[in-house]
Amino acid sequence: MLQKNQIVELKITDLSYQAMGVGHYQGLTIFVNNALPGETVRAKLLKVKKKFAFARIEKILVESPDRVKVPLRQWLQTGLASLAHMTYDRQLEFKRQQVVNLLEKAHLEEQISVSQTLASPKPVRYRNKAQVPVRQVRGQLEIGFFRRHSHDLVPMEDFLTTAPGIDQILVKVRDILRQYQVPAYDELHNRGQVRYLDVRRSQATGEIMVILVCRQKNFPQLEAVVHRISKLPKVVSVVLNHNPDKTNVILGKHDYVLWGQQQITDKIGELKFKISPQSFFQINSLQTPRLYQLAIDKAELGPTDTVIDAYSGIGTIGLSVAKRVKCVLGVESVEPAVRDAQANAKLNGIDNAEYLCGKAEVVMPQWAAEGLQTDAIFVDPPRKGLTPEFIKAAVATDPAKIVYVSCNPATLVRDLQEFAELGYETDQIDPVDMFPQTPHVESVTVLERTEK
């Protein structure tokens, strides 16, 4: 019987969906942090269960040709960039294989092909947003990321994936908080002040919004801290997000602009978008236009088509497609996002896109009952995917095509099976790398109405 702290020698044969090396020993599957297929490692067991175990590398005996040197081990310790030790070409193939594996598990590999993963223009320094926890470490306020599978903060100053300028702002704000002795959040006792730093940067304009996620709406040092942050280069907005609850959720419900602008402006292609503190906006500014262009091209839309933009957010997909079609109807359950979408339509001179507040699974059947003829539905849901109610509501509008932009291949494959039962099928999935150095993979799938 294997025991914790035991040293074993393993041949790594595969990667898990979380990018952990997979080996086998005495019938037990062992997941090894930062190990790559083809490697032989000496590993120390950290946790042993009945059918599997977790381990860390003590020594690499045979190294994979796909391994690259990682300058900062914190990137791998935290999972911030858990594929940073792998060549980028191999990362792209790993992401494609994730989709293939899920299709095989669902017995769909013969019906649905998977394209090569569309590479990101930049594999590092691509994020336009960073949310980093603030904690007390060895008596000092620190920023960083949590160690994998824990809430232990690993202090960091270089976050690898964030766009130029964001890391510097994070470090300077950290130093300001230290100077004014602002207490970092203590999640065990739900005390202290600053929980997270949330920094958003416009790729188009360079504008930076700094969001202090705080336990209280006010504290003695706040005015001085905001004044100092407002003097940092490119900062145009300082916001306090109030999150008083003992929770793992990063952002609270209420934002207070303490200085500067309410929003920053970014672009997707030639379109401008106003972005509020909690607006969803794709984090890879260079890859997003390519993702949307792929989805639009695959949809093969025409000038007489009517399109529904479900989960429409601030209107990024719907407004990107508007000039190709007769009209776009967007539906979104978050009221501030709807207001942003309406404002973004005006900002770009688009008058054939309308955005309504409501749940898509309720609104779409109403549109269908009113006689709306829908040619295509675009949907870009969160990681949990689509609900059965949404899928039925989408099919009820009888579109010729459903364009599914997914950030989770597991829920995508599940939903494709549900759509197939209702007469909508696909023969291809196109993976897109929106998150280099991580295991996450985005994809575009076009489902078409069949005779069923």
Q: What is the pLDDT of residues 173-212, one digit of tens each?
A: 999 999 999 999 999 899 999 999 999 999 999 999 999 9
Structure letter (DSSP) for residue 322? G
405 has pLDDT over 70:
yes
Question: Does the pLDDT value for residue 149 go beyond 80?
Answer: no
**Mean pLDDT calculated for residue range 298-310:** 96
Backbone angles phi, psi at 397, to 5 degrees: -80, -10
pLDDT at 164: 84
Beta-sheet pairing, 28-33 with 21-25: antiparallel
Percent of all residues in the chain with a pLDDT value above 70, rounded to a whole number: 100
pLDDT of residue 452: 66
Residue 30: name the closest of 68, 61, 63, 56 by CA: 56
pLDDT one-digit tens code per residue, 374-400? 999 999 999 999 999 999 999 999 999
The pLDDT of residue 110: 95
Catalytic residues: 407
Where residue 73 falls among pLDDT bands split at 50, 70, 90?
A: confident
Rounded-to-integer distance, Cα 162 and Cα 46, Å:
31
Cα distance between residue 33 and residue 379, in whole Å: 34
In order of their start, the domains of the chain are 7-67 (2.40.50.140), 129-268 (2.40.50.1070), 285-449 (3.40.50.150)
- Mean pLDDT, the chain, whole residue set: 95
Q: Nearest-CA neighbor of 330 among 130, 105, 321?
A: 321
For 96-137, how does the pLDDT look when each residue is reduced to its tens digit (9 = 90+)? Answer: 999 999 999 999 999 999 999 999 999 999 999 999 999 999
Beta strands in 12-128 (DSSP E): 14-15, 21-25, 28-33, 40-48, 52-62, 113-114
